[in-house]
Amino acid sequence: MKFRHLGRSGLKVSEIAYGNWITHGSQVAEDTARACVAAALDEGVTTFDTADVYAGTKAEEVLGRGLRGVRRESVEIFTKVYWPTGPCANDRGLSRKHIIESANASLKRLHTDYVDMYQAHRYDHETPLEETMRAFDDLVRQGKALYIGVSEWRAEEIAAALRIADEMGLDRIVSNQPQYNMIWRVIESEVVPLCEKEGIGQIVWSPIAQGALTGKYQHGAAPPAGSRATDSRGSFFITEYLTDDILRRVQDLRPVADEAGLTLAQLAVAWTLQNPNVAAAIVGATRPEQVRENVKAAGVRLDQALLARIDDILGPAIVRDPALTASPRSRD
Ligand SMILES: NC(=O)c1ccc[n+]([C@@H]2O[C@H](COP(=O)([O-])OP(=O)(O)OC[C@H]3O[C@@H](n4cnc5c(N)ncnc54)[C@H](OP(=O)(O)O)[C@@H]3O)[C@@H](O)[C@H]2O)c1
């Protein structure tokens, strides 16, 4: 495994991080979830990502059990707050009330006294940013969160948070968690330049487009049994990648992957890590073999000619519009 600093912070993360959205407490049984965590640890993954909202809060519990017995100092646990975790008006968003309550609940479910990274899962248009930043800073001062970060925030939202942190003497964001892969490149024009300047690293999600970049989905054919596209909880999210155009182009990437000595999944993960502002790619898995395959993308260097061929093949399927980074206008 290779490690990178998360932005300009002192924290190092494994280039391949493991995340449990859709899988733990939902798509996969607990023994499989634990086998995936064990495979990740065995392959040298130290960075684990979850969220209070995943599987209606069950995912944190599964990860907590999966990491039981592991030396706490040897792993970095990342979780998040924003999406609803209960039925009440204050069970969501980035108010002081919900941040403090949700952080305490996450720590219990994860069986830990602190998380290494606490992330705002989206921007909250209904809460003053000063309130959010102060609540995050309080968690850092209490030792419950060691670092703070955001997810899917626009460049101007990150800039505003940094300004407030500097003015109020609060802890600064060191991490952003955006969707980023060969198709979805919306962070490149605005978020990444700002983050490079401000010392914020990207820990990116869906590096293989939820499985679409593995080549296992074929245009004109039914999705393979057991895949995310066939899962009642996961199929909604992957649909946008399963167009005939994208699936044809992904098959055309196969010779490129072969030449690089990689599988398509490894090529996709390695591609995200070519961006120097990316600290880690968070991979998901429903089977330990997927983890073992995908971690081999760590440390891979792809040359410029190969990257240019990928761009040519994907062509108009690549999405670059920075306006597509957007949080809900309302929490309801
Ligand atoms: N901050 C956010 O808003 C946000 C949003 C989404 C995700 N995330 C984070 O990012 C993590 C990863 O997201 P993701 O699960 O969408 O990532 P991904 O790595 O792009 O997709 C993972 C899925 O692809 C399939 N797969 C993985 N490796 C494979 C292989 N080698 N061959 C064939 N199929 C393979 C598996 O699904 P099947 O076997 O079911 O097909 C697996 O669950 C999440 O767990 C979460 O921590 C964050």
The distance from CA 172 to its chain's CA centroid, rounded to whole angstroms, is 19
Q: Check residue 115 and give its pLDDT.
A: 98
For 332, the 3-state DSSP assignment is coil
For 117, the 3-state DSSP assignment is strand
8 Å CB contact between 145 and 108: no
CA of 283 to the centre of ligand 1 (A): 5
Mutate to test the pocket of ligand 1, among 213, 218, 283, 291 (most ligand atoms within 8 A of CB): 283
Residue 129 has pLDDT above 80, yes or no: yes
Closest residue CA from atom 14 of ligand 1: 206
How many other C-beta atoms can be found within 10 angstroms of the C-beta atom of residue 173?
A: 25
The full DSSP string for 244-300 is: HHHHHHHHHTHHHHHHHT--HHHHHHHHHHTSTTEEEEEE--SSHHHHHHHGGGTT-
The model's pTM is: 0.98
Q: Check residue 138 and give its pLDDT.
A: 98
Q: Check residue 109 and give its pLDDT.
A: 98
CA of 284 to the centre of ligand 1 (A): 3
Report the DSSP pairing between strands 12-14 and 3-5: antiparallel
For 32, the 3-state DSSP assignment is helix
Spatial distance between the Cα atoms of 146 and 171, rounded to a whole number of angstroms: 10
* Residue 114: active-site member: no
Tokens (6 digits) for 113: 């006294």
Q: Check residue 38 and give its pLDDT.
A: 98
Percentage with pLDDT > 90 across the chain: 97
Q: Check residue 245 and give its pLDDT.
A: 97
**Cα–Cα–Cα angle for 182, 184, 7, nearest 5°?**
85
**Burial of residue 175, with CB atoms counted within 10 A of its CB: 0-12 exposed, 13-18 middle, 19 or more buried:** buried
Listed in sequence order, the residues at least 6 apart from 173 whose beta carbon sits closer than 8 Å to its beta carbon are 148, 149, 150, 158, 161, 162, 165, 200
| Listed residue (23, 6, 55, 65) closest to 290, CA to CA | 23
Listed in sequence order, the residues at least 6 apart from 104 whose beta carbon sits closer than 8 Å to its beta carbon are 144
| Listed residue (212, 280, 213) closest to 48, CA to CA | 280
Report the length, in residues, of the chain. Answer: 332
Among 66-80, 195-209, 279-293, 318-332, the minimum mean pLDDT is found in 318-332
Q: Check residue 234 and give its pLDDT.
A: 85
Mutate to test the pocket of ligand 1, among 26, 106, 290, 324 (most ligand atoms within 8 A of CB): 290
Alpha-carbon distances, residue 239 vs 233, 236, 245, 247 (angstroms): 12, 6, 13, 11
Mean pLDDT, the chain, as a whole number?
97
8 Å CB contact between 136 and 118: yes
136-148 pLDDT tens trace: 999 999 999 999 9
**Which residues form the pocket of ligand 1, taking CB atoms under 6 Å from any ligand atom?**
19-21, 23, 49, 121, 151-152, 177, 205-211, 214, 216, 227-228, 265, 282-286, 290, 293-294
CA of 45 to the centre of ligand 1 (A): 15
Which letter does DSSP use for residue 74 in this model? G
How many other C-beta atoms can be found within 10 angstroms of the C-beta atom of residue 21?
A: 22
Closest residue CA from atom 15 of ligand 1: 284
Q: Check residue 332 and give its pLDDT.
A: 76
CA of 270 to the centre of ligand 1 (A): 15
Closest residue CA from atom 47 of ligand 1: 19
CA of 22 to the centre of ligand 1 (A): 8
Q: Check residue 232 and give its pLDDT.
A: 86
Q: How many helices (H) and strands (E) does the chain have?
A: 12, 10
276-326 pLDDT tens trace: 999 999 999 999 999 999 999 999 999 999 999 999 999 999 999 999 999
| Listed residue (114, 127, 39) closest to 76, CA to CA | 114
Percentage with pLDDT > 70 across the chain: 100
Residue 297's Cβ-side half-sphere holds a number of Cα atoms within 13 Å equal to 28
Residue 65 has pLDDT above 80, yes or no: yes
Tokens (6 digits) for 266: 């490894």
